[in-house]
Amino acid sequence: MSKSRVLLLSLGAAAALASIGAAPACAQAQAPALSQAPASCPAVLKHTFKRLQDEAPQDLCQYSGKVVLVVNTASYCGFTKQYKGLEELYAKYAPRGLVVLGFPSNDFRQEDADAKKIADLCYNTYGVKFPMFTSTVVTGTSANPLYAELIQATGNQPKWNFNKYLIDRNGKVLEYYPSKVTPEDPALVARIEKALGG
C-alpha cells in the first residue's frame, strides 16, 4: 500500500472519530431547555383572530402571562378619541406586562366596513401601536368566542363602543368597564396597577 493511501485512510479515520466525539456536544447545545417551556395558555386566550393591518392569524396565547385589556372599538363614535388614551396606557404599562387588544366592531353601526380605513384611523390618526384585529361581532348570540367568554364571566356584554374587560396574568376576568370609564380613569388605572403587581 502506498504511503499516500495510508495517509488518506488515517485522515479519514481521524475525521470520523472527531465527528463521533463532537456529535453529543452539538446535540446537547441544540436541545431546548425544559425550564424554558412557555407557561400554559389560559382558556380565555385560546383563540385566534386576524390582525387588522394584514389579516395574518394571531394566536392570543402569545399574551399568556400578561395583564390584558380588551376593548371593542369604532371609528365614528363619540368615544373614538379614547384611542389616544388607550395608546398612552399601553405605552406606559407595556414594559410591566400590560397589553391592550382592540377589536373593531360595527355592532353599533359606527365602524367602517373597509379595514384599510380603520387601520389608517388607528395607526395614522391616533398612533396606535397596541394589537388591533379585524372587525368582529362582540354582542349577542353571534359574539366571537373571546367576547362570549368575557360576557359569560362578567354578566355584561358591550352596551356601546369602547367597553373594556380586564384579564389578569392567569387568565381570570377581573372587571368590566363601560364606555364612560376612560383609559385615564383612576379606578381603571389602579386596578391595572394592582393586576400588574405594582
For strands 57-59 and 48-50, give the pairing. Answer: antiparallel
Helix (H) or strand (E) holding 178: none
CB 66 within 8 A of CB 98: yes
Q: Catalytic residue numbers?
A: 77
Strand partners, 72: 103
The residue type found at 20 is I
Which residues in 174-191 are b (16+ Cβ under 10 Å) and which e? bbbbebebbbeeeebeeb
